[in-house]
Amino acid sequence: MSKATIRSPRRDLMGSPVFDELGMERDPDNLYLQTVDSMLHAAEILELPHRVQIILAQPKNEVMVHFPVKMDNGHHALFKGYRVQHNNALGPYKGGIRYHHHVGLDDVKTLSCLMTMKCSLVRIPFGGGKGGIKCNPRELSEGELMRVTRRFVSAIADIIGPDTDIPAPDVGTNAQVMAWFADTYMEISDKPNANAVVTGKPIEFGGSLGREKATGQGVIDVLAELLPEIGLEIKGATCSLIGYGNVGSWAGKLWAERGGKVKAVMDHTGAIYNEDGLDAIALDEHVRNHGGVAGFEKTKHGADAISEEDFYSTQVDVFIPAALEQMITEDKAKLMNCKLVAEAANAPTTPAGERVLQDKGVEVLPAILCSAGGVTVSYFEWVQNRSNQYWDLERVDEELNRHMVLAARRVQLARHRFDVDMRTAAYIAALEQIGNVYKLRGIFP
Ligand code: NAD
């Protein structure tokens, strides 16, 4: 993946005839259209049949619900929730539930499409889905959060289930939210194994060992496999991270555990830096206690507070975005000083940002590969729930590593076979599987 092997920039943005055929606008700033464009670009190279391209360009189902919830002050508030089911050719829809004040239909559609690609790339028998509620969970009390979750489950109960659509945590949701989710569904449904309706549950309530760290661990598994291609190994290499929530903190801790240095971290509260490497475990504890990285510079662990601009400019081997979508814009990419970007978050790089990185010779390992560890262990959790088993952590870690390494190799293979960048190669490797399944199944009637 050295500079010389980065492929030439892509064809015209949104150049696929599918855009016209389906009446989709060519809005370069729309995240969903950008995502479909990248997918269709890969589909054209792979010569994926037209029928599969049009199916994958739009989600199968888009559900929006409004539901009232009694707040602590006695007042009722109306919430808006989404569940988008992108594709289920490979198995039940699978994908997280996000609680965030900026959640909107296009974001959820984008994330559901990425889930279809991710599941296919790591070869687990799931399709892609995603959901969310437009709310700020930080402003809700625990009781309000629980009531919002329970009302949302009751609103979408008819379209989810252990055999049809299995949600999971995402930004703003966690194992506790999944426990309320499962409990509500179990009350409503008479299905056997009803607790398998969600993954990412607490261990005591059917969760899998290793699920919490799985996405961060998957990022590290992929990097351990692919870094040697550019003459690096994690031991002694440096990284910076945007986001120190579930994914970012685990990626940071596991990177440090393997002898890498976490030089800089930025989240919604600020940015910090240590030339010799931040103490990843102490930082995790600080974030849990204080809600963000700000203030870590005042602790005994040694760090300097830095500006956002300095954070992006910090010289590192690997830059790991693990926060929200679209953070690496053209301007931010111009500041960046790294050899490789590993997308731990979903869709963190804008097309304009990616072009700048390509021009600089910076390779981008796409989210459908790097961040697939979470859904992979979610699949293990679902298997355990349905077969009444508990796997030990060693088994989970080994199986996760096997899936991630094979997926990374699949992407490398597609890259060499088609002479494309890593994002296109990852889409090709994912689409190949879906294309084969459609060929076998045919299209009803
Ligand atoms: P999280 O809520 O635990 O953490 C989100 C992090 O983003 C926090 O550190 C927050 O401070 C940071 N952040 C928010 N706004 C920011 C801003 N404006 N500037 C800088 N930082 C900001 O969420 P998570 O579960 O760690 O998810 C992070 C990303 O990884 C998301 O894109 C999510 O879709 C993706 N992802 C998560 C999982 C999973 O298993 N949790 C799986 C696959 C992909």
Distance CA 425, CA 202 (A): 35
Cis peptide upstream of residue 445 (ω within 30 degrees of 0): yes
CA–CA separation, 385 vs 200, rounded Å?
A: 12
- Which of 106, 65, 101, 66 has the alpha carbon at shortest distance from 86? 106
The tokens of 282 are what? 């102490």
Whether residue 114 contacts residue 426, with contact meaning beta carbons closer than 8 Å, is answered with no
**pLDDT confidence band for 14 (50 / 70 / 90):** confident
State pTM to two decimals: 0.96
130 assigned to active site: yes
Residue 22: pLDDT band (50, 70, 90) is very high
The predicted pLDDT at position 424 comes to 97
DSSP3 helix / strand / coil % (the chain, rounded to 5): 50, 15, 35
Q: Tokens 């687990």 sit at which residue? A: 124
Residue 366 has pLDDT above 90, yes or no: yes
427: amino acid identity, one letter: Y
Contacts of 329 (CB under 8 A, 6+ apart): 350, 352, 353
Residues linked to residue 321 through DSSP beta bridges, in sequence order = 242
CA gap 353, 123 in Å, rounded: 29
Joined tokens for residue 390: 């508990």
Q: Are 321 and 343 in contact (CB under 8 A)?
A: yes
Fold of 59-193: Rossmann fold (3.40.50)
Mean residue pLDDT of the chain comes to 95
- Find, among 35, 41, 32, the residue nearest to 12 by Cα: 41
Task: Determine phi and psi for 321, rounding to 5 degrees.
Answer: -75, 120
- Say whether pLDDT at 218 is over 80: yes
374 lines ligand 1 (CB under 6 A): yes
Ligand 1 touching residue 243 (CB < 6 A): yes
Q: How far is residue 123's CA from residue 126's CA, in Å, rounded to a whole number?
A: 8
Mutational pocket test of ligand 1: of 100, 133, 324, 379, the residue with most ligand atoms within 8 Å of the beta carbon: 324
Residue ranges of domains in the chain: 1-58+420-445, 59-193, 214-365
- Which of 192, 212, 194 is closest to 203 using CA atoms? 212
CB within 8 A of 6, min separation 6: which ones?
358, 361, 363, 421
Residue from 215, 370, 404 whose mutation best tests the ligand 1 pocket (most atoms within 8 A of CB)? 215
Q: Would the pLDDT of 178 be above 60?
A: yes
Q: How many other C-beta atoms are found inside a 10 Å radius of the C-beta of residue 444?
A: 4
pLDDT tens, residue by residue, 87-115:
999 999 999 999 999 999 999 999 999 99
Ligand 1 centroid to residue 440 C-alpha, Å: 37
Mean pLDDT value of segment 117-129? 98
Residues 253-305 have pLDDT tens digits of 999 999 999 999 999 999 999 999 999 999 999 999 999 999 999 999 999 99
Per the residue annotation, which of 60, 94, 109, 130 is the catalytic one? 130
Could you report the per-residue pLDDT of 377-434, keeping only the tens digit for each?
999 999 999 999 999 999 999 999 999 999 999 999 999 999 999 999 999 999 999 9
Q: Would you state the pLDDT for residue 15?
A: 86
Return the closest-CA partner of residue 246 out of 272, 227, 273, 218: 218
- Domain 214-365 architecture: 3-Layer(aba) Sandwich (3.40)
Instruction: Kindly tell me if the per-residue pLDDT of 122 is higher than 70.
Output: yes
Task: Compute φ and ψ for 320, nearest 5 degrees.
Answer: -115, 100
- Residue 222: closest CA among 189, 188, 187, 247: 247
